[in-house]
Amino acid sequence: MTTTQDQTAPYTISAELPVSPDEAFALVTEPERLRRWKTVSATVDLRAGGSYRFTVLPGHIAAGTYREVEPGRRLVFGWGWEGSDDLPPDASTVTLTIEPTESGSLVTLVHEGLDAEQAVSHAAGWTHYFERLDRLATTGDAGLDDWGAAPDPIDPVIASEAALAALQPVLRGLTSADRQKPSPCADFNGHQLAEHLMSSIADVGGMAGATVTRPEQGSLEHQVSVMADQAITGWRARGLEGAVRLPNGFEFPAATAASILAIELMLHGWDLAQTSGQRMVVSEPLADYVRSLAEDVVPAGRGRSFADEAAPLPDADALDRLAAYAGRVPLAG
């Protein structure tokens, strides 16, 4: 991987990937692939004049418009950040070119329109993410993005994005055999638990006035990611002030209602990891924060949604302790 930069020239970075140009183009444009190295969530309208929106890290959303699209060869798009006065969406320009090589593809990114300070911060970001892109293309797994593992600042919406990022590898690791396996939720097998999770995402998004639609196609990871992004976007637009009215007419503090999404994503991620023999990796600060949210939700649901608090195992980490607080007991074996 090579980079060039000074205070007046555009920032440039290149990586040679052991994949075809068409596959390299897919890695930088398709949401399911983008989520493996660069984003938590991604919406893409891949055409000249179409828009994109990337949750790069929890609480940090890049957005802009595609200006040129040449499949397998070239991509030009505006770049900026939602909520930024210094670099709003479409305020700078990114050009990606893909050239065939003997061993695969050379992907080159040029970022123009940045001031000196922006160039420094974006150089660090592109270096980080091109390393992850290279790792994904080379090994098939870029791993969790540690940059987003413990968001600061944090609120229930940002926590939901971080919980989704931790859940996604678990969803990718599920197999068809896991559908019928028992889960820590006694009423659900693996398949039923996944269906329940998607229903919960839709319900919590609906509290914010969002329309949460399940994709008709794609993997479980894709369906959950798209639905969670719709719900999170709805809550970010609504805000956490005031109260929301439930279908039964009961009013609920908005911040508490929004926190249910982070709790559901994290706890059911732990459940699905137990079901499939995986380990869900969550930072201690994030698990502790979601535990603080759960303390406003779980007690009222004991006997219905949550069992009595269980004793955590001696070697329990922060996520295991959260699960125990919610009445979860690890599966034997």
Domains and CATH numbers, the chain: 2-146 (3.30.530.20), 150-325 (1.20.120.450)
**pLDDT the model gives residue 93:** 98
The DSSP 8-state label assigned to residue 53 in this structure reads E
**Distance between CA atoms of residues 105 and 99, nearest Å:** 5
Q: Can you say how many angstroms the Cα of residue 20 is from the centroid of all Cα atoms in its chain?
A: 26
Weakest mean pLDDT among 133-137, 250-254, 315-319: 250-254
Show the beta-strand stretches assigned E in 190-284. 243-245, 251-253
What pLDDT was estimated at residue 193? 97
Q: Which of 103, 112, 57, 101 is nearest to 79 (CA)?
A: 112
Q: Which residues are CB-contacts of 286 (< 8 A; sequence separation ≥ 6)?
A: 149, 150, 151, 154, 159, 162, 163, 166
pLDDT at position 7 is: 46
The two tokens of residue 320 are 């295991």
Q: Which of these ranges, 8-17, 232-241, 242-251, 272-281, has the smallest mean pLDDT?
A: 242-251
**Cβ distance 40 to 146 under 8 Å?**
no
Residue 164 has pLDDT above 50, yes or no: yes
**What does the pLDDT look like over 168-224, one tens digit per residue?**
999 999 999 999 999 999 889 999 999 999 999 999 999 999 999 999 999 999 999
pTM of structure:
0.95
**Sequence-separated (6 or more) residues with CB below 8 Å from residue 261:** 156, 160, 163, 200, 201, 204, 205, 228, 231, 232, 235
Query: Which range scores top for mean pLDDT: 109-123, 248-262, 302-316?
Result: 109-123
Residues pairing with 62 in the sheet: 54, 81
Phi-psi region of 183 (alpha: psi -120 to 50; beta: other; left: phi over 0): beta
